Structure formats: C-alpha cells, structure tokens
Amino acid sequence: METHLVYSSAHLCTLRSFSRLPLTSSPLRPHFARAGRGVRLRRRPIMGMAAISPESTLVHDLGVSALASGVALGLLRFFEELAKRGVFEQKLNRKLVHISVGLVFLLFWPFFSPGRYAPFFAAFAPGINIIRMLLLGSGLWKNDAMVKSISRFGDYRELLKGPLYYACTITLATSLLWRTSPIAIALICNLCAGDGMADIVGRRFGNRKLPYNPSKSYAGTISMVLAGFIASIGYMHYFHLFGLMQENWNTILGFFLTSLAAAIVESLPISSDLDDNLTVPLTSFAVGNLVF
C-alpha cells in the first residue's frame, strides 16, 4: 500500500534548502517522482506493517459466521421453547420467528471481511436452515416443538414451502447480492419486517378487507409497506455507519417503491397460491433492479 502526497515545485525547493540532504530512494526516506506539473511524494510501506493474510481473513469470517449461526439457532430455540409453553398463539409465534431471524442475521453482515469469500461464509448461517427445513419437512427429523413454532397449522410438510422459501431467499440474497446492494436490504426487510407485520396487524386490526382479496385487509397491506420501508431505511443507515452504503434520497425513494410493490403483490390472491415467502422477495428483486 502506498500513500501519495503532491507537492508543487516551489515546495520541493523549500524542502531541499531546508534539509540540505540528497533525495534518495532509501526505504527509510521518502522519494519523489515527477507526475505532470507537480511532484508526488511516495512513502514506502513501513516494515512489519504487512497486509492481513488470506488465512487470517478466512479465520475471521469463519468466526463471524459461527457467531451468526449460533445466534440464529439460539433465536429458533428460544421461540421453540415459547411454543412449547404456549406463551404466544401459534400464528403469532411463527411470525415473530419470521421477523426476528432474518433481521438479526443482517446485523452481522458488516462484521465480515471484504474478502471475496465472505458472502459465502455469511450464507452458511441461513444455509443451515435450508438443511433443517428439508430434514424436518421430509419427516427425516422429528421435532414437534420446532415445527409448531414455524408452521401455520403444525404440519411438518408445511416446512417444505414457506419456511424453506424463506431460508433460500436469505441465503441467495447473502451470497449473490451481499451488503453493498440496496436490493439485498429491501428484499430481506420486505420479507421479514414487511410480511411479518402485515400478518400481525392484519389479524388484529384488519376489519376492512380489500375488494379484490377478502383474505387481506387495508391495515395489513399498509403496515407491510411501512414496516418494510422503515426497516430498509434503518439498515441503510446502519450499513452507512460502516461505510458500506450511501445515504441519499434516491435510495430512500427506491426503498419506498420496492416496499409498495411488494405489499401490492402480497395482497393479491396469487400470493396465497404461490406463498408470499416466494412472491415478496421475487417482487422486491425485480423492482429493486429497476429503481436502484
């Protein structure tokens, strides 16, 4: 790594008359190279300040991935215990899992290295859930409490639909889009915060139904737009603190349009047929590519 300073010819003469020393290319002295109309001062790297090795980067990413996986599994076990004890109604417990796991996972993204393999190490955490959903949904692994905490009706075969789509969406967004992409933020926030709050608010306050879909309400659709949008803005600011993303009005408008489109598609009858864990991320990805 080199640090460059630009000096004018007058400044160079002053430096020479002050130091009265010859300019050399010794590793311990700065040396000058002419660049256009000025003179560029180049400093050699200080001995012992070597770049971080690829091996240490891999170890770092493995450690963060293990921590993220542990926290995600801990959250699932926590809600599993709540389901066992009947603390929340089953559908509410399921939506709390739906909201929290993906959003908490996003908090770990800035702590991975900028290495080329970091996204794949990060994707390891949701990738584990793909395997879990396949094992549970196929009946090869029995865990009634976990099935109850993340399914609509307590049927283990449900895990091969919505929960599996959920895990696949976050895994693909992590490994293919990664943390500098506003599309990744919009996609995950609309899936987790937006879709989760739509169900919770819609069940409680959704007396006025949509004319084109009596199973959806105005309250649920509006809450989805707001929750997905606010969560996206929050994570935009969070990633900006780490220098990973710019904050500007164009991005904010893009988040709003993406959340609005995802909520509209989620309110359509087709989302009930295909599962909104599939239609919401697909819509967010398609619209995000247009507005960002």
Distance from C-alpha of 94 to C-alpha of 75, rounded to nearest angstrom: 12
pLDDT score of 86: 85
pLDDT score of 137: 92
Calculated CA dihedral for residues 147, 149, 152, 157, nearest 10 degrees: -10
pLDDT in tens, 104-127: 999 999 999 999 999 999 999 899
On the 0-12 / 13-18 / 19+ scale of CB atoms within 10 A, 230 is: middle
Quickly count: other Cβ atoms within 10 Å of residue 105's Cβ: 22
Tell me if 9 sits within 8 A of 32, measured CB to CB: no
Residue with tokens 């793909």: 130
Mean local confidence (pLDDT), 73-78: 90
Distance from C-alpha of 32 to C-alpha of 40, rounded to nearest angstrom: 6
Mean local confidence (pLDDT), 188-215: 95
Distance from C-alpha of 162 to C-alpha of 157, rounded to nearest angstrom: 10
Distance from C-alpha of 32 to C-alpha of 159, rounded to nearest angstrom: 65
Indicate whether this model's pTM tops 0.85: no
Contacts of 150 (CB under 8 A, 6+ apart): 76, 79, 94, 97, 98, 159, 163
- Which among 21, 41, 24 is positioned nearest to 32, based on CA atoms? 41
Q: Helix or strand or coil: residue 112?
A: coil
- Which among 56, 99, 84 is positioned nearest to 190, based on CA atoms? 99
CA R_g for the chain = 26
pLDDT score of 260: 98
Tell me if 232 sits within 8 A of 189, measured CB to CB: yes
pLDDT score of 220: 96
Contacts of 156 (CB under 8 A, 6+ apart): 136, 137, 139, 147
Query: 151: which DSSP letter?
Result: -
pLDDT score of 89: 87
pLDDT in tens, 21-41: 344 433 333 333 333 444 343
Q: Helix or strand or coil: residue 3?
A: strand
**pLDDT band, residue 149 (cuts 50/70/90):** confident
Mean local confidence (pLDDT), 240-247: 95
